[in-house]
Structure formats: structure tokens, C-alpha cells
Structure 1
Amino acid sequence: MFGGIGIPELLLIFGILLLLFGARKLPEIGKGLGEGIRSFKSSLSGEEEEKKEEKVVKAKEIEAEVKKEEIQPSTKVEEKTQA
């Protein structure tokens, strides 16, 4: 299953945890682990969204620069023809 760990090994680990922490404490530990994993995943997805937003901002800046460059040469040509 998980890198050579099968069902019997998982049951043994669960049994040891049950003996160490007791039946009442295990759900609390599981809940805490679940929340930690969810938090970790959401922080990873948050970083990905920030990177996407940065790319969009950079793309808009480049697009604005290209538009400025397209507009500026045409005005310079008009100035030369008028002079």
C-alpha cells in the first residue's frame, strides 16, 4: 500500500496509538491532523494563486508598455511630417 506498509502493519500502528493515547483522545488527534493537512493544502493553493496574480499583473504591464510603444512612434512620424 504505502511504501511496503500493508493492512496488518497499519492495524498494528493503530493498536499502538490506541494504547498510548486512549479511545477518547484519538478522535481529537485525528481532527487536529486533518485540520493541519487542510491548512497546509490551502496555504499551498494560496501561493499558487499569488503567483498566477503576479503573472497577470506582469502581463498587463507588458501589454501597456507595448501599447505605449505603438502609439509613440506614430506621433513621432507625424511630428516629422509637420516640421
Structure 2
Amino acid sequence: MIGGLGIWELLIILVIVLVIFGAKKLPEIGGGIGQAISNFKKATTEPSEIDVTPKKEKEEDKDNA
């Protein structure tokens, strides 16, 4: 049992998705979902890349004014 869903519930969901999107779209949908999960995990584990230190160019412009 995965998250309260049994094997029959998962099979019914898979059949519904197959009917709605068709067999040719399933690999694209699966790849998109996998990439989204991967990006989400990467974003939550990596430190923020925002640099808040002032650049020297901006300081030099203020001195010349």
C-alpha cells in the first residue's frame, strides 16, 4: 500500500490517465513529472545563490558623482 492506495486503486488511476492522454503522451508526462521532482529536490537542498554584497562598480560610480 502506497500512501493509503492499494494496487487496484493505482491500476484504475493508470487506466484513466491512459484513456485521457493516450499511450504516446505518457512518456512525455512521466519525464516532465520526473524532471519537476528532480528540480524541486535540487532547489530545496542547494544553498541560495543570491549574492547580496555590493559590487565595486557601483561604489566607484557613487564616488565620482
1:3 & 1:28 partners in 2: Cα distance? 25
Query: How big is the shift at 1:34?
Result: 0.1
What is the root-mean-square deviation in Å for CA atoms of aligned residues? 1.1
In terms of fraction of residues, the more helix-rich structure is 1
1:3 & 1:33 partners in 2: Cα distance? 18
Q: 1:32-43 to 2 correspondence within 5 Å? A: 32-43=32-43
TM-score, normalised to structure 2's length?
A: 0.69
Question: What is the letter of the counterpart of residue 4 of structure 1?
Answer: G
2:6 corresponds to: 6
Q: Identify which of structures 1 and 2 has the higher relative contact order when contacts are C-alpha pairs closer than 8 Å and 6+ apart.
A: 2
Q: Which 4+ residue blocks in structure 1 deviate beyond 3 angstroms?
A: none
TM-score, normalised to structure 1's length?
A: 0.54
Unmatched 5+ residue regions in structure 1?
51-83
**1:24 maps onto 2:1 in alignment:** no
Unmatched 5+ residue regions in structure 2?
49-65
The aligned length equals: 48
Q: Percent identity?
A: 52
